[in-house]
Amino acid sequence: DFRMGTGVGAIFRLPRRPAWRGAMLTKFETKSNRVKGLAFHSSRPWVLASLHNGVVQLWDFRMGTLIDRFDEHDGPVRGVCFHQSQPLFVTGGDDYKIKVWNYKLRRCLFSLLGHLDYIRTVQFHVEHPWIVSASDDQTIRIWNWQQRSCVSVLTGHNHYVMCAQFHVKDDLVLSASLDQTVRVWDIGGLRKKTLPETVTPEERSAMGPPMPDPAGSSPGGSLSSKLGKAIPNMKVEDLFGGNDATVKYVLEGHDRGVNWASFHSTLPLIVSGADDRQVKLWRMNETKAWEVDTLRGHINNVSCALFHPKQELIISNSEDKSIRVWDMSKRQGVQTFRREHDRFWILAVHQESNLLAAGHDGGMIVFKLERERPAFTPISGGVLFVKDRYVRSFDYGSGKDTALMSIRRSGNSGGPAVARSVHYNEQENMLLVCHDTDGGSYELYSVPRDGRSSDQSQECKRGAGSSAVFVARQR
């Protein structure tokens, strides 16, 4: 029986839908060869997708159009990244090449050579003229793209390095490897050595005065002067490995190879995903790093795991053909989105908006986890809407925004109880609120006038269904 009541304002409801389909809002979808790398532009509605067949696609996800395609790599392109402010992007492929492109000129500017095996990820630094790359040759390399040279090779992993990324503020690099470890590297020394203009007065005073070179103090001169004569243009610390990039922490805890690791943008947290099907959360301070918790639920290798930039959520995807959303504070899964035939390989988050992108065997999707526009309904002389779990009214004439009542509710799914739609019966002053949580539900409230009980949660009648509306004669 899909009907409740028979009088004025009777409610019709539809049967409930499966809970996992919840609130995923697909904004844009492509069908293509397998997508291995994704990157959002910082300000334009663009997303780059690097494919297993060697093509790099530039899409406008708002218009749903292919702007350009770049086809110079020989073999799969696994890493791609936009520059924060310049009209540039960087790619890394199975041809051992890193290519820097100008999308305005629509061509590759130059290639960076040095890796000896497949390149897994590439990333621009947000501030310095650096690119970090991870490779199956077991190294991480940092390049100065303005000078077109390699400035540091980070060695220590003893299997393929699956990803590497810069910290957004600190002098840190994070890497994940099939040697089952996640490593945090301190690159403060590298910055001070290769970018002396970035050294602050405090750092300069802490470094102390430069050591004099006792070249003339002994008949034979110093080691550095001897080597300088033998190998010009080569510094001793470059020859023997200086202390410009050092391992700060080695995070051990995964039982199989680690495919991805990500920094949190503001908190001292790391998330990682591995072939042991687990997503792990780590915390670090100045002296140590430790495992906080393990998130279990994926039933195949975890391909990628990221922090949501705006909410306390972790998003992961896997070869089990699912994307999972986890609550960071409760440490439990709150949403799962599945595809029938396509394994997921990569995730990207937009730092300024609520957008995410996921690459899979058959293309990619750009999506949101929830609507940002509040549910609203027009009323005479204004609008009624639900925001932050309060029912509010806005009067067009006076411009007054009034909180009418609280509708704090406890959903069983653990996810945010975001109202999908609201309907208002002005004759009887009744409000109908529809939610996607718990597989679809609705609530019927009596609305107080002028917000007399805005601080008190109102009692309501609840029911299950994917949608509900008022039905009445002559309305």
pLDDT digits (tens, 9 = 90+) for 168-198: 999 999 999 999 999 999 999 999 999 888 8
**pLDDT band at residue 400 using 50, 70 and 90 as cut-offs:** confident
**pLDDT band at residue 452 using 50, 70 and 90 as cut-offs:** low
The conformational region for residue 341 under phi > 0 = left, psi -120 to 50 = alpha, else beta, is: alpha
Q: What is the pLDDT of residues 54-90, one digit of tens each?
A: 999 999 999 999 999 999 999 999 999 999 999 999 9
Q: What is the pLDDT of residues 16-44, one digit of tens each?
A: 333 334 457 899 999 999 999 999 999 99
Candidates 35, 284, 247; CA nearest to 155 is: 247
Q: What is the pLDDT of residues 343-388, one digit of tens each?
A: 999 999 998 888 999 999 999 999 998 777 888 888 888 888 888 7
Q: How would DSSP label each residue in 363-391?
A: EEEEEESS-SSPPEEEETTEEEEEETTEE
Q: What is the pLDDT of residue 10?
A: 43
* Six-digit token string for 336: 């799962």
Mean of per-residue pLDDT scores for the chain? 85
* Six-digit token string for 357: 């992108």
For residue 442, the 8-state DSSP code is E
Statement: residue 247 has pLDDT above 90 = yes
Burial class (CB in 10 A: 0-12, 13-18, 19+), 33: middle
Task: Give the side-chain half-sphere CA count within 13 A for 255.
Answer: 5
For residue 167, the 8-state DSSP code is -
- CA atoms of 345 and 37, how far apart (whole Å): 8
Task: Give the side-chain half-sphere CA count within 13 A for 387.
Answer: 15
More confident residue, 400 or 39: 39
* Contact by Cβ (8 Å): 90, 124: yes
CB atoms within 10 A of CB 160: 19
Dihedral (C-alpha) 307, 313, 315, 320: value to the nearest 10 degrees? 150
Candidates 120, 123, 115, 134; CA nearest to 166 is: 123
* Contact by Cβ (8 Å): 224, 129: no
Q: What is the pLDDT of residue 435?
A: 78
Q: Which helix (H) or strand (E) holds 193?
A: helix 188-194
* Contact by Cβ (8 Å): 132, 120: no
Q: What is the pLDDT of residues 143-172, one digit of tens each?
A: 999 999 999 999 999 999 999 999 999 999
Statement: residue 218 has pLDDT above 60 = no
- CA atoms of 110 and 98, how far apart (whole Å): 9
- CA atoms of 215 and 229, how far apart (whole Å): 12
Q: Kind of pairing, strands 25-31 and 363-368?
A: antiparallel
Q: What is the pLDDT of residues 268-327, one digit of tens each?
A: 999 999 999 999 999 999 999 999 999 999 999 999 999 999 899 999 999 999 999 999
Query: In Å, how far from its chain's centre is CA 177?
Result: 19
